[in-house]
Chain A
Amino acid sequence: MELKPMEQFTVEPLVSAPLFHIAGHPIYFTNQALLMLIVVALSSLFLIVAVKPGRLVPTRGQSMAEISYEFVADMIHSAAGEAGLKFFPLVFSIFIFVLFSNYLGMVPWSFTVTGQIAVTFAMAAFVILLVIVTGFMRHGVGFLKLFVPDAPWPLLILLVPIEIISFFTRPVSLSVRLFANMLAGHTMLAVFGGFVVALGAAGGLLTGLAIAPMLLIFAVMLLELLIAFLQAYVFAILTCIYLSDAIHLHDQH
């Protein structure tokens, strides 16, 4: 049997006819699009149904929704202060979307949306564009002070380009971190899964040894469950920190 650990990340059209064309490029309805729709539908459904009763003493579902609300609100408050709460809807949506995609990606035969750099980079690029727009709206040209550190002017010739590159590094590192974590974890699971199959088919004593990679899969699976949450948290809190830069400029240093 040939082992294809990367096969799980192939994006393929589910309907052979393209949905529509953009500038001559056919746009298909892919497995990725389907999973994104499921993520959005599930998360909206969960929050709507859970909050529907609107009780003073919350039910289990309602308190789950409330806890996630308070968790994100606290996160924004601590990272970006009072003014950051204006961006609550965005940060909450990003957090819930990444969290649900990460966890749905753990379901066998499903597809990890956040394991695609196109998806994570689109989100990160949106965040950084929002930071730029917010910065210019709040501070005008003064926002450019973000790129000018405290230093004698001859050094600024060198430091300003470095600061600019450092700023544009943010969306790249933000998206690469999420994408690489998901990609690495799921590839690892698939590779160990391949070991189990190969050892199981080997016969004799080797068949018994197949239990070893099986246990390893179990451990990695637990780790992945943790990472799925941690990465959603990291993505959301870095969004807050970058927004805080746009709101307060150099205040926090």
Chain B
Amino acid sequence: MVRAPSKRREGRIVGFFGPRETVLTAPDPDRLTELGKRLDELQTRRAAGQKPASPGQLGIAFRFATEMVAALIVGGGLGWGIDWLFGHFGFRTRPAFLILFFVLGAAAGIRNVVRAAAELNARMAQAQSQGRSNEEK
């Protein structure tokens, strides 16, 4: 990220992946300490401003919807599969397991949504407490 300013002055073209050969010069200690100070400063500033990536309102709604629908599909699918398996061996259970597992799937869906919401709550609480501690500084 740090570009040596001398390269610019020489008028050399710095390509996307940099020039082919590197010119090594003895480091100037004053400039190095100054650079170190600037980097430290930048890092603390970035750490202060950084928040955990949070999806928007739409993203949250979408997440909950997919959790619910996916659970219903998996539950219904499992029930259907078990019915098919029993039917294969001559037991006519056809709608029984489908209905049972569809209901279980709905329960699993609600469980998933609650879990996702709890996760989100924890993350938001964390972000909030972080913001507060930053303000106190």
Contacts and interface: CB of A to CB of B under 8 A. Distances in A.
Given A165-B108, A166-B71, A172-B74, A61 B17 contact: yes
B29 interface: no
A173 B112 contact: yes
Contacts of B59: 230
B62 A169 contact: no
Given A162-B111, A166-B108, A53 B18 contact: yes
Indicate the size class of the contact surface on chain A.
Answer: 20 to 34
Interface stretch (B86-94, B99-107, B128-136): B99-107
Nearest to B110: A162
A53 to B, nearest CB: 6
B101 A62 contact: no
A55 interface: yes
A165 B75 contact: yes
Contact of B101 (A53, A163, A165): A165
A127 to B, nearest CB: 15
| Secondary structure of the B contact surface, majority rule | helix
Interface of B: 1-2, 4, 14, 16-18, 22, 53, 55, 59, 62-63, 66-67, 69-71, 73-75, 78, 101, 104-105, 107-109, 111-112
Given A165-B75, A165-B104, A169-B108, A59 B17 contact: yes
A181 interface: yes
A142 B1 CA distance: 48
18 contacts: A49-B17, A50-B17, A53-B18, A59-B14, A59-B18, A61-B17, A161-B101, A162-B111, A166-B108, A169-B71, A173-B66, A173-B70, A173-B71, A177-B62, A180-B62, A230-B53, A230-B59, A233-B53
Contacts of A81: none
Nearest to A57: B2
A89 interface: no
Contacts of B22: 55
Given A59-B18, A168-B78, 10 more contacts: A53-B18, A57-B4, A61-B18, A165-B101, A169-B70, A169-B108, A177-B62, A180-B66, A230-B53, A230-B55
A60 B17 contact: yes
B88 to A, nearest CB: 21
Interface string A168-211: 11001100110011000000000000000000000000000000
A208 to B, nearest CB: 31
A108 B130 CA distance: 42
A169 B109 CA distance: 8
Nearest to A173: B70
A233 B54 CA distance: 11
Contacts of B53: 230, 233
Given A162-B107, A176-B66, A230-B55, A168 B17 contact: no
B114 to A, nearest CB: 11
B47 to A, nearest CB: 12
Contacts of A57: 2, 4
Contacts of A172: 70, 73-74
By Cβ-Cβ distance, the 4 closest A-B pairs, closest first, are A59-B18, A173-B70, A172-B70, A165-B108
A43 to B, nearest CB: 16
Interface string A58-75: 111111000000000000
B130 to A, nearest CB: 14
A181 B105 contact: no
B71 A181 contact: no
A234 interface: yes
Contacts of B16: 59-61
